[in-house]
Structure 1
């Protein structure tokens, strides 16, 4: 009998030990509320360009109801920072600026930004602003670009335009500058002098150099811009389209810091475009799947589409990239891109599928394409609850390299976000020695099977009215390929 009792006792303690171990967190996320990474965050948002409308087989227009749908969806996201790109040459006729040409296409975008106090980067793609074959700038067009900006800012009253981006991705062979730094510098300098002649420099500053990078081998574009353009540049920026392995492994952070380190103290740097491309060998299977999906989609460009925008994992991957960007000291990020209907590649009806939706789905591209895609919600949470002017606090993560985290605050309100890019559910201990108790906290969980959605585009909290005291520690469970957001911002 004693042996039976002994065996039962041992079994009891073994089971208890197993249960206790399984309840232990896999990692610790510690918020240091006293250490500030960024004192004045500009905000996050999205690229929103005037729509193509001519799709070869059919000429379309965006209805009033679709514009309202766009506004309503963006109101959920609350973008703080939006990039709008145009070709000034599209409103030049016989060497003369026709400001009202195509105005109806850009006006609703700028009207939205003006009414919601969104900071806008307006820019020129670079068409006929330079001639890379003769290595010369096109002065006539570079004179008219500031005049068009003057029309928008002073005549139409779009004070939301804070920055101007002269020539997209000038370090690329696909750019009008054909990788020529001196040519871009000359164009930007000439544009800036013309801007000053119109006294617009008091209202708008340059954003640049707007380079597309994959590794830390283009930092000279930043350092040379600092030396050559000085105070003309109000915000520095880069574009990144990293591979999934680069971001998830954390290597992305070291690349970002290399560019941040070249920026002068007191000047911000932002991510002017961000999206994923499967460029590394480790992501070859994903690249092949992406091509396969694009080929199967009637209106998708095989050359330039990200077909994983339909998958929840794209949302957690973009959250991973954004969180690393924030923690590397950047002051804002613009997701590429809002809407498939903005741009085509290869031919007019082969769209760059990268968006949160296709607003012309019901009219032409297929009704389901107009629906909100999952990654909208992940990006929206990290945009909505990172208001302009927020402080970014230092956060350390120990025990699991698949986790990344941020903590931000403004006016006594806070947001903590943790992303888990692993294929397993993860338990996390949240702790802080100096964060005040947060009341009326909402909990959002972004992951497949966890979203609480309402209507066309609203995401509801999974839990409300939480009291969060990290001095006493708190354990949270984050789903595989999921994002956890805890916030007491009251919207």
Structure 2
């Protein structure tokens, strides 16, 4: 009798324990290291354009101290991929390219990328490269664009420039091409011939079509580009500015897949620009709040600012978007954008507030604007620990759609990132049937109130010396609207 009671009691507590553990696990993240979805990841980075400097009532310069600060902050991020856009026509004087004009503005950007082995996509915004009203291209200006590229690559030795974009977002009504594919094709084809004349095609390949998309209705720009330009295009790219609901719901992945599937299997596709805009009805309240915040900011453009860059949630949302992009087979992502001081809209001192900071805060825009904003740390973790040449594993998340994850490896180093976009913390189980025991792992936590910071821009790990043994039960808790990165990369 006593034995029967003991067995019953033991079974009761076993059942309770199993039920309790099951209740605690709200999602399971399973890493399939046998299935590689990307053999050669290019890397992540940010848009870094020459600074505007003319702000109407004041003309400024980036000081040597500020360049040092920019370099130090970027060194923490370790960008692998940078997008730099210019207006070639601003350099044309007396029917030739004045190569010295504004060189001091672009040189520090390219010098950084050259010294750190950052792959650069250089491009022209498209001003006066075409005339959409007459449906004609400017061979004159396109030739000058090729000559300036030759100056940077051949004469100045910036072989970090690997790709070139001719005309930003050509499918947009705001673009120089005014949505006209044939006009963009004609301009790009002529520019491509000029690269061959200068033997630049052996050093720089085209990237395109550089279209801005929200749904799956622009896939024809990819298929037409494949028909007309492959193999001249080295990397295909799109831009996305999705609504929060689109990304957090997971719908974003299916949109991205349509464009990935249109690209030849042997060619990569990247996200040439990524940021958030509140375009869906479900995000209408966020859109109105964004406008009110911009109105209250003396130097913010009401028409083109993302005022949630000051909030931790923007970093979580950008991580969500990046993780879905990686898992859909894309080979890189470039965040829009590094620094508020690069671009204005409406008037010269109404800035496009989208950056990690405003490097001219101390000098003009307000000292607080120069402070690093939270989303820098989320984007940095997913840039720093996804080096060029990484392999991306297939990851499956079950149990909760608000949790997404990626896993990558390079050599004998690994990184696993998990994001939780819900308003409550999530308990997850991390599993893999094939991964080895991972030693000396660091854990970084990105969430409001969780950052461990040092100095101007350094994020420290919450824990070091972790062992992940996948033969045992591995559990983690991701904070509400938070990101966890586990890695044994040694930098």
What's the CA shift string for 1:380-416, capped at 9, x where partnerless?
Answer: 0000000000000000000000011000000110000
- Could you tell me how far apart the structure 1 residues matched to 2:473 and 2:53 are? 53
- Could you tell me how far apart the structure 2 residues matched to 1:344 and 1:75 are? 26
Structure 1: runs of 5+ lacking an equivalent: 1-8
Q: C-alpha displacement at 1:19, in angstroms?
A: 9.0
Conserved 8 A contact 1:45-1:82:
yes
Using structure 2 for the length normalisation, give the TM-score: 0.96
- For 1:380, the equivalent position in structure 2 comes to 380
Q: C-alpha displacement at 1:260, in angstroms?
A: 0.4
- For 2:452, the equivalent position in structure 1 comes to 452
- Could you tell me how far apart the structure 2 residues matched to 1:38 and 1:482 are? 25
- For 1:400, the equivalent position in structure 2 comes to 400
- Could you tell me how far apart the structure 2 residues matched to 1:283 and 1:470 are? 39
- For 1:162, the equivalent position in structure 2 comes to 162
SS in 1 for 2:207: strand
Where in structure 1 do 4 or more consecutive aligned residues deviate above 2 Å? Answer: 12-24
SS in 1 for 2:133: coil
- For 1:247, the equivalent position in structure 2 comes to 247
Residue 390, structure 1, aligned to residue 390, structure 2: yes
- For 2:485, the equivalent position in structure 1 comes to 485
Distance 1:416 1:17, change over 3 A: closer
SS in 2 for 1:409: strand
What's the CA shift string for 1:322-357, capped at 9, x where partnerless?
Answer: 000000000000000000000000000000000000
**More divergent stretch after superposition (14-23 vs 89-98):** 14-23
- Could you tell me how far apart the structure 1 residues matched to 2:376 and 2:471 are? 33
- For 2:31, the equivalent position in structure 1 comes to 31
SS in 2 for 1:489: coil
- Could you tell me how far apart the structure 2 residues matched to 1:293 and 1:471 are? 50
What's the CA shift string for 1:219-264, capped at 9, x where partnerless?
Answer: 0000000001121110000000000000000000000000000101
- For 2:5, the equivalent position in structure 1 comes to none
- For 1:68, the equivalent position in structure 2 comes to 68
Q: C-alpha displacement at 1:20, in angstroms?
A: 2.7
Conserved 8 A contact 1:32-1:393:
yes
Conserved 8 A contact 1:52-1:342:
yes
Q: C-alpha displacement at 1:471, in angstroms?
A: 2.6
- Could you tell me how far apart the structure 1 residues matched to 2:299 and 2:180 are? 34
Q: C-alpha displacement at 1:469, in angstroms?
A: 1.1
- For 1:299, the equivalent position in structure 2 comes to 299
User: RMSD of aligned C-alpha atoms?
Assistant: 1.6
- Could you tell me how far apart the structure 2 residues matched to 1:13 and 1:473 are? 19
- Could you tell me how far apart the structure 1 residues matched to 2:135 and 2:66 are? 43
Residue-pair matches, total: 483
- Could you tell me how far apart the structure 2 residues matched to 1:79 and 1:472 are? 35
- Could you tell me how far apart the structure 1 residues matched to 2:230 and 2:16 are? 65
- Could you tell me how far apart the structure 1 residues matched to 2:331 and 2:19 are? 44
Using structure 1 for the length normalisation, give the TM-score: 0.96
- For 1:283, the equivalent position in structure 2 comes to 283
- For 2:428, the equivalent position in structure 1 comes to 428
Conserved 8 A contact 1:435-1:471:
no
Structure 2: runs of 5+ lacking an equivalent: 1-8
- Could you tell me how far apart the structure 1 residues matched to 2:150 and 2:14 are? 76
Q: C-alpha displacement at 1:24, in angstroms?
A: 2.5
- For 1:236, the equivalent position in structure 2 comes to 236
